[in-house]
Amino acid sequence: MKIYYLLMPLMLFGCNSIEERQLIESTPTAENILITNVDVFDGEDSVLTANQYLLLEGGIIKSITTNLPDTVGLSAHTINGFGKTIIPGLIDAHVHLSGSGAVPWDNYRANESYNLQAYLHTGITTVYDLGGLSKGLEELTEKVKEQTLVGPDIFHTHIPITVKNSHPIPLTEIMLPWPLKTMVNTISPTIEAVDEADDLIADYLENEVDFVKLICDQIPPGSPQMTYEQMKALISAAHKNKKKVFVHIGSPENAVNAIKAGADVLAHGVWRGQLTKEQAEFIARSKVPLIYTLSGFENITHIHHGDYTPTRLDSIVVPHEILSPVLGENGKHVHNQEVMNAFFESAAENKKYWKQNFRLLLEAGAVIAVGTDSNLPGTYAGSTYLQELELLKEYGLSNFEILKAATTTNANLFLKSPDFGSVKVGHKANLILLDRNPIEDLTTLESPSLIIKNGKLISRISY
Ligand SMILES: [Zn+2]
């Protein structure tokens, strides 16, 4: 048993917990469902296929037809889809289920099952966890699979590999009580010499993981960051073991180096510094997707300035205890948090480059994926995802491009032939039924008519 599993109960010690609240209700078993006369957005095509019949059997999309399918002998629950649009369940490609979203000056323990409910409440039926203890994440993954816990399907990594005193170590330290804060450097997998890479990856893969995560960034600015050589050695060791690698990046140089070192996915866009046209073209040509996470970065700049306001959905879904310490003037408490403040301040200073960076990447044809980095201060399970979609639109993506990124692009980030992320026969019945065509009106996602997860009807509890 690894030392961090022994430390887990201690890590939770000293943090307050939040009262459980219910956001969704689910039917007990997967039903056979027939959706009649519905328009289909399959996740790929910009033109909807009108008036289709979808038959869902045992949690799988059994058929998609233009005529009423034969359901003799099958007891199917019928849903009238006339005038509505069905789309694939959404995917959040960057989450941390074991984050609470609380700030260090008013800390609360994460409630993973609540987080899972919050994602599903927004129509997110799959999440990729980009950093947490693999053992705990695997337990959640299994519970969702066995259907003893209601939530999106989970794919996950372990604690990201980094270098000593580099992200996420300084930020994690401030979230933990003494003496745990003194142990973070020991617990985090770190690389020094390049020839340690094979052993480090072998060790990492003793944990149950779907992909590998590395960090190459400076949070706070000036802290050590992983070198190109270290990244290259780790990525090739992971690839030898047939694992894809997600690399957290910050600057244009980080992005270019990660791609040259063989990264499969960039976690975050360029948030630190100004991209040149050449760098943007290099990133685009590589076809390595960027999970941009605009909302988290935008929100921390507001928290820093003391003018953060939550979205309508944040106010419904995020517990008051988590939200209130960052609202408006309260957010300025961050100025007393040395490490966190340096990070938030540098985000605020770099904000002037973000739209231009994004525009250069779009013009060059870069692949954009959708994720939130929730839960951290300013980015919350489910609700922030809709803010992310809105910001992607403000930054220049079309509704169709956003919907495609949130479904098929995300589904193909690391899996060869995923059985989710599009409306196709044989795929999981993870679907959202919407009142309007989201390609024309993205805001229809705020109030889905119906959410279906593995063939089960999910109803949203309203507050
Ligand atoms: Zn993250």
- What pLDDT, in 10s, does the model give residues 88-103? 999 999 999 999 999 9
Write down the pLDDT at residue 9. 47
Write down the pLDDT at residue 130. 98
pLDDT in tens, 113-138: 999 999 999 999 999 999 999 999 99
Residue 427 · residue 61 · CB < 8 Å: yes
What are 414's two structure tokens?
């690391």
Q: How far is the CA of 432 from the centre of ligand 1 (A)?
A: 26
Residue 122 · residue 90 · CB < 8 Å: yes
Write down the pLDDT at residue 184. 79
Q: For the chain, how big is the Rg over CA atoms in Å?
A: 22
Q: Is 382 helix (H, G, I), strand (E, B) or coil?
A: coil
Q: How far is the CA of 192 from the centre of ligand 1 (A)?
A: 22
Which of 199, 202, 201, 203 lies closest to 214, judged by CA? 201
Q: How far is the CA of 130 from the centre of ligand 1 (A)?
A: 6
State mean pLDDT over 252-256. 98
Which of 127, 153, 115 lies closest to 381, judged by CA? 115
**Is residue 5 over pLDDT 70?**
no
Residue 232 · residue 240 · CB < 8 Å: no
**Residue 110 to residue 126: CA distance in whole angstroms:** 19
Tell me the residue ranges of DSSP E strands in 68-206.
Answer: 77-80, 85-88, 90-95, 124-129, 153-156
**Is residue 173 over pLDDT 90?**
no
**Residue 267 to residue 248: CA distance in whole angstroms:** 4
Q: How far is the CA of 385 from the centre of ligand 1 (A)?
A: 14
**Is residue 440 over pLDDT 50?**
yes
The CA dihedral of 364, 365, 366, 369, to the nearest 10 degrees, is 150
Q: How many residues does the chain have?
A: 463
State mean pLDDT over 53-62. 96
**ω into residue 220 within 30 of 0, thus cis?**
yes
State mean pLDDT over 351-362. 98
Would you kindly state where each structural domain of the chain is located, as residue ranges?
3-18+90-411, 31-88+423-460
Amino acid residing at 359: R
Domain covering 3-18+90-411 in this structure, CATH number:
3.20.20.140
Write down the pLDDT at residue 90. 98
What are 205's two structure tokens?
């893969």
pTM of the model: 0.96
Q: How far is the CA of 93 from the centre of ligand 1 (A)?
A: 10
Residue 188 · residue 162 · CB < 8 Å: yes
The CA dihedral of 282, 286, 289, 290, to the nearest 10 degrees, is -20
Q: How far is the CA of 17 from the centre of ligand 1 (A)?
A: 22
Q: How far is the CA of 95 from the centre of ligand 1 (A)?
A: 6
DSSP class of 408: I
Residue 93 · residue 410 · CB < 8 Å: yes
What are 34's two structure tokens?
């027939």
What are 136's two structure tokens?
């705990």
Q: How far is the CA of 368 from the centre of ligand 1 (A)?
A: 16
**Is residue 107 over pLDDT 80?**
yes
**HEC letters along 169-207:** HHHHHHHCCCCHHHCHHHHCCECCCHHHHHHHHHHHCCC
**Residue 58 to residue 31: CA distance in whole angstroms:** 6
Amino acid residing at 348: A
State mean pLDDT over 210-239. 97
Write down the pLDDT at residue 123. 97
Q: How far is the CA of 90 from the centre of ligand 1 (A)?
A: 18
Q: Of 419 and 22, which is predicted with more confidence? A: 419
Write down the pLDDT at residue 11. 52
Write down the pLDDT at residue 204. 97
**Is residue 81 over pLDDT 90?**
yes
Write down the pLDDT at residue 1. 43
Q: How far is the CA of 303 from the centre of ligand 1 (A)?
A: 18
Q: How far is the CA of 381 from the centre of ligand 1 (A)?
A: 13
Q: How far is the CA of 72 from the centre of ligand 1 (A)?
A: 49
**Is residue 83 over pLDDT 50?**
yes
Tokens 């020094």 locate to 192
| CATH 3.40.1360.10 applies to domain 31-88+423-460 | no
Q: How far is the CA of 287 from the centre of ligand 1 (A)?
A: 21
Q: How far is the CA of 142 from the centre of ligand 1 (A)?
A: 22
Give the pairing of strands 85-88 and 33-40. parallel
Confidence of residue 4 (pLDDT cuts 50, 70, 90): low
Q: How far is the CA of 457 from the centre of ligand 1 (A)?
A: 30
How high does pLDDT run on average in the chain?
93
Q: Alpha helices of 274-333 — where are they, by DSSP H?
A: 277-286, 294-305, 312-317, 320-323
Q: How far is the CA of 258 from the centre of ligand 1 (A)?
A: 16
**ω into residue 330 within 30 of 0, thus cis?**
no
Spell 431-456 as b/e; 16+ CB within 10 A means b: bbbbebbbbeebebbbebebbbbbbb
**Is residue 3 over pLDDT 80?**
no
Q: How far is the CA of 198 from the centre of ligand 1 (A)?
A: 24
Residue 145 · residue 154 · CB < 8 Å: no
Q: How far is the CA of 436 from the centre of ligand 1 (A)?
A: 32
Helix (H) or strand (E) holding 237: helix 228-240
Q: How far is the CA of 427 from the centre of ligand 1 (A)?
A: 28
Q: How far is the CA of 47 from the centre of ligand 1 (A)?
A: 34
Amino acid residing at 332: K
Q: Is 390 helix (H, G, I), strand (E, B) or coil?
A: helix
Q: How far is the CA of 77 from the centre of ligand 1 (A)?
A: 40
